[in-house]
Amino acid sequence: MTLSQSQAIHKLRELHDLKCLMRDGIELSTDVYMPATGGPFPTLLMRTPYDNHDGAGVLPDAIYQAQRGYAVVVQDVRGWYDSPGDWYPFINEANDGHDAIEWAAKQPWSTGKVGTIGKLLLRAYTVAGRPGEQLPPDCLGTQGRLLKCLPQLGLYRRGLSAGF
């Protein structure tokens, strides 16, 4: 069965405007979509400058994955929409992405296994690593300095075959 053929099998539970604490005290606005029952769930993180309440169409991807058994964390990056702070392109993304992954891994609804989803730019906003920097131990599927997919969970195989 391919990704496009999978069926939505879960009703959803939504948690809105949770506060995810960053190392400098800023609390970023974070929404979570997950199956309504069961858990804990493997977790996917999407950080966005496009509004976690459906800017740039991020919610369809989040809902799609949550209906298939994942907890999906959608977070406004610092200084955008519901997240406070000042935004400077790619200045805070490495630390904020690292902190968001660790936060998600420690939540009771998460298995502790965290990966990222989103188009390339959204993945870059998740962890824009610097040379020599270690990614959080909870991250899965690294390639270069950007997190790619979750081959361990069978996610986004078509992305791999397309060369992403």
Report the number of distinct structural domains present in the chain. Answer: 1
> What CATH code is carried by the domain that includes residue 43?
3.40.50.1820
Closest CA to 115 of 60, 57, 154, 68: 154
Domain that holds residue 135: 3-161
Element (H, E) at 59: helix 58-66
Q: Please, what sign has the CA dihedral across residues 13, 19, 22, 28?
A: positive
Measure the N-to-C terminal CA separation of the chain; round to a whole number of Å: 20
Total Cβ atoms within 10 A of residue 153: 16
What is the tens place of the pLDDT at every residue in 76-133?
Answer: 989 988 898 988 877 888 889 889 999 999 999 999 999 888 764 555 545 544 434 5
Say which amino acid occupies 146. L
| pTM (2 d.p.) | 0.74
Measured CA to CA, the distance from residue 149 to residue 136 in angstroms comes to 15
pLDDT for residue 119: 64
What is the tens place of the pLDDT at every residue in 8-50?
Answer: 788 999 999 999 999 999 999 999 999 999 999 999 999 888 8
